[in-house]
Amino acid sequence: MKKKPKEEPPVISKEIIQRAKAAIFSDSITPVTKCTVCGSDAAPNSTESLCWVCRRLKISAWRDADQQMAASE
43 forms part of the interface with Zn ion (CB under 5 A): no
Instruction: Give the helix, strand, coil percentages of the chain, each rounded to 5.
Output: 50, 5, 45
Give the integer Cα–Cα distance in Å for 32 and 15.
28
Closest alpha carbon to 43 in 54, 55, 56, 52: 52
Selected range binding Zn ion among 1-9, 16-24, 37-45, 60-68, rule: CB under 5 A: 37-45
Q: How many residues bind Zn ion (CB under 5 A)?
A: 5
Q: Is 37 in the site for Zn ion (CB under 5 A)?
A: yes
DSSP annotation of 48 reads S
Write the interaction track for Zn ion spanning residues 46-65; mark x where CB under 5 A is met and - where it is not: -----x--x-----------
Identified binder of Zn ion from the candidate list 24, 38, 59, 61, rule CB under 5 A:
38
